[in-house]
Amino acid sequence: MREKDGRDRRIQGSGGCGSQGAGGSAGTEIPGTVCTACAGETAEMLAAGHHGGAASGKPGSRMSWMMRPQALFTWLAGAFLTAAWFLSRWSVDGWPVLLYALAILTGGFFVGRQALRSLRHGRLDIHVLLVLAVTGAVWLGQWFEGALVVFLFSVGELLEAWSHHRTNRSLQELLDLRPPRVTVRRGGVLQEIPAEQARPGEIFIVRPGSRIPLDGQVVKGESAVNQAPITGESLPVAKGPGDHVFAGTLNGSGYLEVRSSRPSRDTTLSRLIRLVQEAQAQRAPAERFIDRLARYYTPAIFVLGIGVAVLPPLLAQAPWDTWIYRGLAVWLVACPCALVISTPAAVVSGLGNAARHGILIKGGAHLESLARVDTVAFDKTGTLTEGHPRVADVIPAPGFSAAEVLQTAAQLEARSQHPLAAAILAAAGAPAPTWPEVRFFQQVSGNGVRGQIGSHQVFVGEPGWVWDQAECLRARSKSVPTLQEAARRLQNEGKTVMAVARRGSGEGGEGGEPVGLVAVVDALRAESLDVVAELRRSGIRHVVLLTGDHPAAARAVAARLGVTQVEAGLLPEQKLEAVRRLQRAQRRVAMVGDGINDAPALAAAQVGIAIGAAGNDMAMETAQAVLMGADLHKLPYALSLSRATLRVVRQNVAFALLSKLAALLLIFPGWLTLWMAVLVDSGATVLVTLNGLRLFWHRPAATVSAAAGVAGPGLGVPGPEAVQRAGAGSRI
């Protein structure tokens, strides 16, 4: 089923209870939590709007659960069953059987419809088995047993549907954040239009106290904006002209005019919603294994039930009615509903908890992989450091002033998106109108930038690359050794050093000359030391620093953090190879970076984790997990949550298997009745679902939870303001 706004929320058919035995099943709006066969009447409830179907577009909580059609039929069946039981105690002839029949018809209405649908598609599932079992009970004269079986099964389905609604609430909260309309200024006139009709570049207004409908850049006004749903800041963030804002965030008391930067379908919030939906539809490896098992399990149980019913009477002259009854019990107790739902119930709850805390994990497979990680590799700049570099030192070459060094570097860096560029521009001041034009600008990944200014080719970036490109060494410039020594000294202080040089643009050139050095410092995040220590306490055996910065600067940072394994001076492809070396050493690696020059390494790791990714397209697309804000404390929290999810999955699978085995063993002595069989099956399903739902309230260790804060609505927890970072290669 595809909703009106184009969101496809179908499950990829999971095959539980034999649903994939022949031809698969149609998709339903159960967001990746349970196979369609096990969902059964849950799908009927969804069609009626329980999970916010296309008709209503609202979450199921808008209408009381007690008033849903299936709920009403279930309570009516319970009333008929209760009345029939009391009348049978009073020896009232005729009426108990009639009331038992009414209980079977009302409680089994949705079950029967689903059974017919399954048979039309050639599937053998729990609904077919239940209808056969109830028919057999009635044929044997066990009216009370048949009615009680139907009622208990309907109650179990109702509770299961409620659990699916609960797991879907986080996604619905995100959907509710999107204002449907926006007020734009067209031709000097304000017009209110649907948000999807607004065009990039249009000016729209945001009134005090309203939600921002689109991503954009503030052009007029000042206000404080609550960005918790996207990035997780604990306090509103001051916004003014030039600042970026996100759709779905809440404006404070100020009036803003914003220039739209993206269409409604491509806002950060819209991409988050799509990624959450895709994550819910992806299945963990354990879930895929159980689904494959279920394809053969249900037909085998069907054959076993027939064997139990007919073989003892045929071979040992045992009573037919006794063994038919026991065969029916086999059908009821052995359905793998609890086993099939044991994994997705936990996984979707874990994904929902992560989303509430500003951590987007793209599916159960990545959640499971994160739980098995034993090595965490960090990028340095913007990950362990704040990502706000500032110029600390300027050393001019002979014949140049510090201002000339900064101006020359700033002329090129004005065209760059690297964090260092912002630091140089801030130190040099705003570009002057008299600055000459830069031609043939090129950004060289991992090294720096180059371009032509007047009659000179200018190079800014990693010192070794700059000296080589500008042919300073060939020109035997006497100032180069002095600058090289100064660069080493600054790097040993933990600073990042960029060289500036130029050479003539004519063929063959006129020899290069150094202009000077610019040293930039980027302070460590306040939480970096605590996070590294927390990772070690949580069982992470190896913490590695992979950076493109100079080895001396990298070692200075690593020493402060207590990290002993450092690889520095890496280009993006070398970071990728470093991750692969760790994997070849049998380590399960999580790579943490900002999603720009770290993209290859993020993609190669068992789990790539992008930090501060709000508004960062590459990070959201490349990484398997995204920390929407810039708070590193979310990383230990994500590890804690993933491990808790894996523990719950193992608990659920073990309980589902042991409960089925114990119930099957009780059948042969005749100790298990039909209603007890249904109670075991439905009860186990409900219990594993509720056990999975515990993950919604999972709390990490005290140190992490104190730092992570309390989740706000939708995505986001309190944390520092997210910083949008972009850059080329490994200049840091």
Catalytic-labelled residue, pool 379, 549, 631, 681:
379
Which candidate, 574, 566, 617, 576, places its Cα nearest to that of 594?
617
320-333 and 674-693 helices, crossing angle to 10° = 10
418 vs 725: CA distance, rounded Å = 7
Complete DSSP assignment for 605-650: SSEEEEES-TT-HHHHHH-SEEESSS-TTHHHHHHHHHHHHHHHHH
State whether the Cα torsion 170-173-177-178 is positive or negative: positive
Calpha distance 550→489 (Å, rounded) = 12
Q: Where are the alpha helices (DSSP H) in 385-516?
A: 402-413, 419-428, 463-469, 479-492
Through-space distance between the first and last CA atoms of the chain, rounded to whole angstroms: 48
Task: Tell me how far apart the alpha carbons of residues 607 and 361 are, in angstroms, rounded to a whole number.
Answer: 10
CA pair distance 334, 16, nearest whole angstrom = 13
How far is it, in rounded angstroms, from Cα 608 to Cα 20?
A: 33
Which pair of structure tokens corresponds to residue 206? Answer: 């945001």
Q: Where are the beta strands (DSSP E) in 532-594?
A: 542-546, 565-567, 589-593
How far apart (Å, rounded) are the C-alpha atoms in residues 55 and 436?
A: 61
Determine the Cα–Cα distance for residues 99 and 585; give it in Å rounded to an integer: 69
Reading the block at residue 48, the tokens are: 């009626």
- Torsion angle of alpha carbons 216, 219, 225, 227, nearest 10°? 20
379 is an active site residue: yes
Q: Which tokens go with 32?
A: 């990746």
- CA–CA distance, 453 with 468 (Å, rounded to integer): 19
Q: How far is 131 from 40, CA to CA, in rounded Å?
A: 13
Find all residues with CB under 8 Å of 399, minimum gap 6, and list them.
Answer: none
- What DSSP line would sit under 167-209, residue for residue? HTHHHHHHHHTS-SEEEEEETTEEEEEEGGG--TT-EEEE-TT
Paired residues of 205 in beta bridges: 183, 257
> Tokens standing for 355?
């989303």
- Closest to 258 (Cα-Cα) out of 290, 294, 211: 211
Instruction: Give the residue from 433, 432, 499, 435 showing the smallest Cα distance to 462.
Output: 499
Tokens of 408: 């020359």
Nearest residue to 658 (alpha-carbon basis) of 680, 676, 679, 675: 680
Helix, strand, coil tally for the chain in percent (to 5): 50, 15, 35
> Are 451 and 458 within 8 A, CB to CB?
yes
CA distance 597 to 73: 58
Dist. CA 110–CA 70, nearest whole Å: 7
* Residues marked as catalytic: 379
